[in-house]
Structure 1
Amino acid sequence: MMESRNEAQHSVECDLCQQPVSFFCRRCTVNLCDTCIAIHLRVKSKNGHDIVDYTSKDDDDTCHCDSHPQNDCSAYCKTCDAPICILCVTIKHKSHEISELSDKIEELLKVIAKENDRLRSSKNEFEKILDHTTKMLSSISLYYKQRKDEVTARGEEWHKLIKEIVKKLHQELDDIQKEHEDVLQKQKKKFEEMIAKLDEMNGKTAKLKKSKNVKEMQIFVPVIQNHQNLNEFSQYSFPSFYECKIDPNYLQTYFGYVEKMQEKKTLLLEDELKQSELSSTRILDVPTVTSVIDTGFPASEKSKTRLYDMSVTDDNKVWMGGASRELKLFDLQGHRRHTVSITNIGMYLCMYNKQVVYSGTNAVRMISDTDTVVTMFTTGDWQPYGVTSAASGDLLVCLRKDDQNKVVRYSSTGTVLQEIQYDSLCQPLYKEVVYITENVNGDIIVTDWEKDAVIAVDRLGIFRYSYSVKDSDYDVCSVATDSVGHVVVTDCKDNKIHMLDRDGRFLRYIIPEGGINRPRAVCILGHGEMMVGESKTGIAKRIKYLDE
């Protein structure tokens, strides 16, 4: 360490004689060797001299008075918003409002600490994105190889007639992969640089905490305050291979195509869940049923189930869907207020812009004010299942096609804003997506019936947690979340409701007085209440579970 320091000093020369530097005059900002110190001290200066070892030249934690540079500042003039020395207090600033210098230092350090905490919280988000991007880069070749294998398999089906098309599509994938890797490398570098900048400011903050140099603090405050965090970043979708019907006359036309990589902006929103909200609620030891609604849905021929899904309106009524081609609106006292006819069984529904929305055949549909069924958008050859409205004003939809599963964020007009299908290692996240909800922290949570698990990703689509129970009686069904981030999961085989915290940790079972029979549909009513539907009986129970 000593050798490296000496080498660094020898690389800098004395400003008076060009010999290796040993000392530094802070007042004059002059580099000095051993011999030239005495010469420099003989030079008169109105600011005086402050000679220190060269290696300590940047360690000055004192603040010198602008009017009397030979004096250290010991007070602060609020009128002039400047640090001053004791002479200034009695002369130039005599009639001004004066405070202790330590009070101003404390005030500035609080501002710096607050802004530094803000930036440090952003760093965690950036590090998560960086980790996700790095993992994607490490496994991107595997993913593209999987897509190439799909193309090859399709080519083998058509034998020698399509060899040229296979070669062409391979090249497209190679080109996209190179472009994909390039943009991810740039993103990786960008976030590394941003994190390094945050670390630099954090280091500066730590240094200033031990300092009394108000000037340096004043210079640093606007720097840290004006440092703008990134409010969005780009997510790039993976290409998909789409198969087409085989027609020997139009091989290239019907063989298939590679969907190009797309850039989609995702906002970096701050988590709005407040710990004070969590601490003000208590889960009741014995949840109570406050009212019961007989929905009157018939039993399906195959499974003998009746009630499938429900969604609460802004005025605390509940739309319910079951084994018939109609949706029913009930108030919380059990009175049916309205019924509308729909195009298929009401299996999955939600509220969107005060209208009830449901999943139809290859489409998402809405009931208009005139009770007309309106197609919001179609989903191609993907079949929609669970649907929920997001805090951003978008719709989140579970989609399935053959053995593929994904969650897609749509705008109200059907524009695809985000696709969630693979983890950071390019492996499928889901096997059989069914119900979906969004938590208050932005997590997107689905029930996967084949995995018999609840799977959560964050708002960026990065895997967060999976919850399941190693119990033969456990049968995950539906999911909902409340205003403080609790995750509520219905277990229709074991006749229980599982309550998790926002990080997927089990809290307790919710089993109301009198029990519950085959719970499936669930929605949160507010005021510590939920509505749970019994799939076999068609009964909906209003349950008080929180003491707010």
Structure 2
Amino acid sequence: MRKYKHVLDSIQCSNLCTNCRLVVAEYACDTCKNEKFCSECYGSVHAPHIMQKHQRLPIGKQLPEMPPCEKHPRRQLEYWCYTCLTVICIDCLLLEHRDHKYTSIDGVTKEFDTKINTNFQSIQSSLEYRIKQAEMLINAVETDSQSNQSKITNIMTLLRKTIDEHEKAMRQQILTIETEQKKQLEDYKTRLKHDLQNLNMQKANFEMLFSSKNYIKLLQTKQGFDDYVNRTNAALKSLKMPSRTEYYLERLDQLQIIQEKIKQCGRYVEVEPYQNAQLEKWIAENGTNQILNLKDRNLTDPDMKIVADLLRKST
């Protein structure tokens, strides 16, 4: 039990104010190294004007203890030498580095913090700008794609409509001519069939009279048969067979050429990047001049993009 009591006492002593050693310490000091104070002692110790610049730190938030100097082990590293770019102690500052430019480690740390955060902010701004540019380009790619697909849809729809309508018109014309020619030939054929039917009737009457051997009656009808023959021959002589008009599809072979031409239409060709050498030269000659007078330049949107990109690269 004594052993544990001793450990407990040691822990309690380590938490006491190093000035009065009576009260639990509440504060540390950024300058008074290895010292811990209760509220009352901190106020009394730091009452002198020279001590009032010290920074009070709650216990647990005090700055980490600086390592000792290799050349002067009894001294802590507290300063930064700008000339040698290294950390030094007070003895180094008074001896080897007495004519060098220096500052406190706290000062150079804050300076570095400001510088690195400024650089971080610059990088962040650059990254965010590039991300925004990438998003704009992605949107532009999508917009171009949708626009071009819409153009293809519209022109192909119109082309299909034209082809369908032209095909329908050609077929209708062929069918109309076919119908007209067939009607003329069918009418001619019907007339001939009718005449053939009359001929068969005349033949049947003649054969019936001839086979009956009633030659008197046969001779009496001779004039009728002769009239039929003469009339029919005259009609056949005057009857003209309808002519068959031949047609051909004019320039149909051109469709194969058009087909090849269609395949060449609408190829996705890369657009050359817009350039304005005169504008770029003028901006370059402007140098570091803070004022860039764009008045009366009649710049287009692509020109303004060139201006923005060049200005961004120069900053």
TM class by shorter chain equals 0.3 to 0.5
User: TM-score, normalized by length of structure 1?
Assistant: 0.21
Larger Rg computed on CA atoms: 2
More helix per residue: 1 or 2? 2
More RCO (CA 8 Å, sep 6+): 1
